[in-house]
Amino acid sequence: LDESTAQVRRTREARLKLAATTARRRVAELERAVSEGRSTEAELREGLAHQQAVHEALQLEAGIGQEVLKETLAHLTAKGALLEQAYADLRTQSAEATELREKLESSIADLDKANGTLEELRRRHETILADREALEAAHRSREDATLAELSKYAEK
């Protein structure tokens, strides 16, 4: 966009220089014509009026170009401010997203740890149940053996 603005400015400057050169050339022609006695006062006045009209048109065009450049600059400044705000918002959102990601990773690590603890507790529980069943089986076996022994003594 800066290149485009610069191109517009260069084009306008070239036009103004061309118009100024043309006006100087016309004035020089008129001065030669006057010195050679070929022009009349009416022709000189007409040429001067034409040059003044060209000059006024060039000034008007330069004013319009200046206004366009001012408006373009104001527009670009506003867009720049919006872009800066959007960038600041993006940085804030990125920081918040990073913070949330870190919290999420921490929570996942905590859940993995809790899951490992639960798995260990489940294995211990199964071991305790298996030990209990073995103890109960051993107790029943001893009880049965004791009852069988008591039965022997009772029969005697």
17-26, 27-36, 71-80 — which one is most confidently predicted on average?
71-80
pTM value is 0.45
**Residue whose entry in the numeric block shows the structure tokens 């366009």:** 68
Residue 116: the pLDDT is 95
What mean pLDDT do residues 104-115 have? 96
Could you please report the per-residue DSSP string of 84-141? HHHHHHHHHHHHHHHHHHHHHHHHHHHHHHHHHHHHHHHHHHHHHHHHHHHHHHHHHH
Helices 41-155, 2-35: inter-axial angle, 10-degree rounding:
180
Query: CB-based contacts of 58: which residues, under 8 Å, 6+ apart?
Result: 15, 16, 19, 20
Q: Which amino acid type is present at position 40?
A: T
Q: How far apart are CA 113 and CA 121, in angstroms?
A: 12
Give the pLDDT score at 140. 94
DSSP 156: -
pLDDT at 1 over 60: no
Res. 2 pLDDT band, cuts 50 70 90? low
Q: What is the pLDDT of residue 93?
A: 96
Please write the tens of the pLDDT for every residue from 55-106: 777 787 778 778 877 888 888 899 999 999 999 999 999 999 999 999 999 9
Question: Computed from CA positions of residues 121, 127, 131, 132, in that sequence, does the dihedral angle turn out positive or negative?
Answer: positive
* pLDDT tens readout for residues 118-156: 999 999 999 999 999 999 999 999 999 998 888 888 876
Q: What is the pLDDT of residue 38?
A: 65
User: Which residue do the tokens 């506003």 mark?
Assistant: 78
Query: What is the model's pLDDT at position 7?
Result: 80
